[in-house]
C-alpha cells in the first residue's frame, strides 16, 4: 500500500498484488487482482480497506498461505467473533 497521488485537496492510496504477497499469501498476478477487485467492489466505506480486509478476501478466495500458523490465528479470531456475537 502506498500513496500514489497527492494534491492540495485529495490523496489516492494504491493496493497491489505485492501487498497480498507481503502478508504471506500465495497467488498469481491474476488471482491477486481478482482479490483486489472484489475488495474494492465490496468494501464498506464506514470501515475502509485495511490489512484485515485484505486477509479476509484472500481467505474467501481460498488463497494458500506460506505459514499455516497464520490461518490458525484467523480461524481462532473467527471463533472468538462468533462467540461474542452469540453472547450479546
Render each residue's pLDDT in the chain as its tens digit; 88 residues: 766 666 778 878 899 999 999 999 999 999 999 999 999 999 888 988 999 899 999 999 999 988 777 777 777 878 888 888 776 5
Q: For residue 31, what pLDDT is reported?
A: 97
Q: For residue 87, what pLDDT is reported?
A: 67
Q: For residue 28, what pLDDT is reported?
A: 97
- Element containing residue 53 per DSSP (H, E): helix 51-60
Centre a 10 Å sphere on the Cβ of residue 20 and count the other Cβ atoms it contains. 24
Helix, strand counts (H, E) of the chain: 4, 4
Whether residue 65 contacts residue 26, with contact meaning beta carbons closer than 8 Å, is answered with yes
Give me the phi and psi of 4, to 5 degrees please.
-105, -15
Q: For residue 4, what pLDDT is reported?
A: 66
Amino acid at each position: 500500500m502506498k500513496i500514489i497521488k497527492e494534491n492540495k485537496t485529495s490523496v489516492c492510496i494504491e493496493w497491489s498484488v505485492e501487498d497480498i504477497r507481503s502478508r504471506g499469501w500465495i497467488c498469481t498476478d491474476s488471482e491477486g487482482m481478482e482479490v483486489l477487485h472484489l475488495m474494492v467492489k465490496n468494501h464498506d466505506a464506514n470501515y475502509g480497506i485495511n490489512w484485515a480486509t485484505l486477509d479476509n478476501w484472500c481467505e474467501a478466495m481460498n488463497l494458500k498461505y506460506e505459514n499455516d500458523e497464520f490461518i490458525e490465528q484467523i480461524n481462532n479470531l473467527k471463533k472468538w467473533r462468533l462467540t461474542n456475537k452469540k453472547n450479546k
